[in-house]
Amino acid sequence: MTESQDFTAQDFSPQRVSTSPRRPMHIDLEAQPPTQTHDVDVSGAPIHSPTESVRQRRINRSNTVKSYRPERRGGQAWQPGAEPGIDTSAPVEMRQPKIHEICQITTVDFSQTEVQQHELDNDTLGPFMAQPRPDWAVCRWINVNGLSWDVVKLLGNHYGLHRLAIEDLINPRNRTKADWYTDHTYMVLPLQKLIHLHSNSDCDSEYSDWEDGPRENGNVAKSRNSKKSSVLSKVTKPFRSRRSAKEPPKSQDTSADLNGYIDAHKSSSVDAPVTRVRTLQRYHGGPNEERIDFMEKHSALASKNIGVGVEQVSIFLTADNTVIAFFENSADDIEEPILPRLRTAETILRRTSDASMLTQAILDAIIDIAIPVSTAYQDAIGELELDVLTEPHITHTTSLYVLTSEIAQFKSNISPIVNLVNALRDHKSEPLSTPGILGKPSKLSSSSVTISPTTITYLGDVEDHCILITQGLDQMRRAADNMIDLIFNTHSARQNESMKQLTIVTILFLPLTFLTGYFGMNFDRFDGVQKHSDSFFWIIAIPLAFVTSLYLM
């Protein structure tokens, strides 16, 4: 500190007089033209102070790129260095997300003896929350289908949800985690399920033969019956442009917004309603839209017109035995198995009337929905394995690469849930008090949310399901890698066999080529040619070729 003070006193001595006028604070220094003013000493010689060099370097610093194709996070443009979190109690003119949709809200109040269910929306939620909670209601579940700022703001103000948790709730892409606050816990994780892609059958029939050669979706056996069209396609391929004017059909509506949502059915059934969902490729694909379209078109499940839908689920577990769950569009899939359990008095949920146990049921349902996705990939890799074993083709490597990419992304969404479950099981429910600051009452240094021993026991079942899925995915990925090795080894063996045949032909014709060159020489006197017929050539060539082949092979 002493050296810094001496350095400052030495460089900025009282003898220096600055002739530069002081600019107002509201004027942008970088937008002003450079001036020729300098610091001068008593003798009039210019002195270059450190502040002048710093001012010159600021022009270069302004060239920093702050974002690359910035996505809108929570309905607003994200900027680096912004205020962390979103305050639901802030005035309207402050930074707030601009998202609104009609939400389907289901509230369930239950105890060991009674249960009551209400179906609400954006307009009726406010009057319902204004009413006092019934005395008999031990536990309350608020299940929200859709994200709308008016609903988030109402629930955030009513339960005092933390501003960082609100920001993570609005942001459509977060890592799987559990954040512990004073009187509530925030959990976020992805939900993965099979969906039916919204396709146009007329477009599919019009472009049914767009692909060249074997189809890259695992149905290579079907392409064996159309070898004539495949050969014709290969012959005409050099005369076609690399990107044809007729683009291949998209298996779904790819008019995605900035967050990657597309139109698709809510489940694997074609009768399910169409809604805005994100596929597995769009959830992790990044800003490159062409790559996402290619990966979706060559997906292992595209031949069956199904895909994997991914959405973010946010769960709040409060200290007053309340569970608030936010889904983008799959709340019905979670309510379907849980609501009948709440209506039955003999179930564990009703007998315990524990919010942490209800959270376990939601997590278990999310994992159970992901099991059919693993089964679909297992079926797809089985078809690819059969095609590779019967007729391996180099185009199979593209399908296998896309399949391993999807399996890796699917696993990256499932594996962190194990850490989330362990965080819930290892949570210490006994809070510790700390002294107050500035005369304020003492606060709790840890969360007062309680995870019951029954919930800890049943969370082990959720962890087992996650581990079983990840182990199956690891096995499928190793099988795909082995099939890729098998394809290249098979092609290498075929090339070696071809080289062997070419080598045999070369060895057979090597002595014949030598003799042909010898007898084709121009000499004035050549008794071997002038006194003999062409049979003399074969009398020499055949034994020589036999001896050479026997020696070289």
DSSP 62-88: TT----SSPPEETTEE--TTPPSS--T
Model pLDDT, residue 49: 53
Distance CA 223, CA 225 (A): 5
Residues near 538 by Cβ (< 8 Å), separated by ≥ 6? none
Distance CA 122, CA 105 (A): 8
Nearest to 459 by CA among 489, 497, 421: 421
Residues near 270 by Cβ (< 8 Å), separated by ≥ 6? 196
φ/ψ (deg, to 5) at 264: -160, 165
Model pLDDT, residue 85: 85
DSSP-derived letter for residue 525 is: -
pTM of model > 0.75: no
Number of C-beta neighbours around residue 459 at 10 A? 22
Q: Exposure of 350 by Cβ count < 10 A (0-12 exposed, 13-18 middle, 19+ buried)?
A: buried
Distance CA 292, CA 279 (A): 10
Model pLDDT, residue 322: 95
φ/ψ (deg, to 5) at 515: -70, -35
Residue type, 273: P
Nearest to 144 by CA among 162, 169, 165: 169
Model pLDDT, residue 30: 42
Q: Give the sign of the dihedral formed by CA 370, CA 373, CA 379, CA 383.
A: negative
3-state secondary structure 253-264: ECCCCCCCCEEE
Distance CA 214, CA 390 (A): 14
Q: Which two tokens stand for residue 467?
A: 């581990």
Model pLDDT, residue 546: 77
- How far, in Å, are 66, 78, 84, 85 from residue 81 at the CA level? 10, 9, 8, 12
Residue 230's DSSP bridge partners are none
Number of C-beta neighbours around residue 101 at 10 A? 15
Nearest to 370 by CA among 412, 431, 432: 412
Model pLDDT, residue 115: 95
Residue ranges with strand state E in 280-401: 306-318, 322-327
Model pLDDT, residue 241: 39
Along the chain (553 residues), what's the average pLDDT of each consecutive run of 10 residues? 44 44 44 48 52 53 60 56 83 73 94 94 94 94 94 94 93 90 94 79 38 41 43 46 39 46 58 73 78 84 86 95 94 94 94 95 95 92 89 86 91 94 84 41 58 94 94 92 88 85 79 74 67 71 77 71
Residue 76's DSSP bridge partners are 73
Distance CA 419, CA 412 (A): 12
- How far, in Å, are 28, 168, 325, 435 from residue 315 at the CA level? 46, 11, 4, 30
312-337 b/e (C-beta count within 10 Å ≥ 16 → b): bbbbbbbbebbbbbbbbbbbbbbbee
146-173 b/e (C-beta count within 10 Å ≥ 16 → b): bbbbebbbbbbebbebbbebbbbbbbbe
Model pLDDT, residue 544: 77
